[in-house]
Amino acid sequence: MTDPDNIVAEKLNGLTKYVASRTLTDPEWQHTTVLSDDVVERVRALKEEPGDELQIHGSCQLARDLHTAGLIDEYRLIVFPVVVGEGKRIFTDGMPASGFTVTDSRTTSTGATYTALTPTPFTTGPEFTVEDGKETIA
């Protein structure tokens, strides 16, 4: 977007962007670098450099690959209160298990929920047994 009155576009247009792509070679956007080879290792190296946060917009596969590599520090999810059928899933079969800590959560006036999650090691809860008709923690 080039509308100078759009403060989000103005901010994003001035920032460095990294685009993971197998097909894009010459991006039209200023301050843009295409990551086409070994994207996970390139992101790992970028995380070691000083600077602002790296964000993923619109790529479930990239999020999956970076989750699997342990490179995601925080998930910021917005869930809208609608059902539109089957869609893409961030977490699919075969991905490594992870726990999460909720660091922020809000609900908008339209019912959408925003949740910020940081990955934590996966643990299972206590085991329960039933003795004399009552649950007990094993």
* pLDDT tens-digit series, residues 60-92: 899 999 999 999 999 999 999 998 888 888 889
* pLDDT tens-digit series, residues 90-125: 889 999 999 999 999 999 999 999 999 999 999 887
The answer for residues whose C-beta is within 8 angstroms of residue 27's C-beta and 6 or more apart is 17, 19, 34
Q: Residues 23-46: what's their mean pLDDT?
A: 92
Question: Which pTM does this prediction carry?
Answer: 0.78
CATH number of 37-137: 3.40.430.10
Distance CA 123, CA 46 (A): 30
CB 106 within 8 A of CB 79: no
Helix axes 39-48, 60-68, angle to 10 degrees: 70
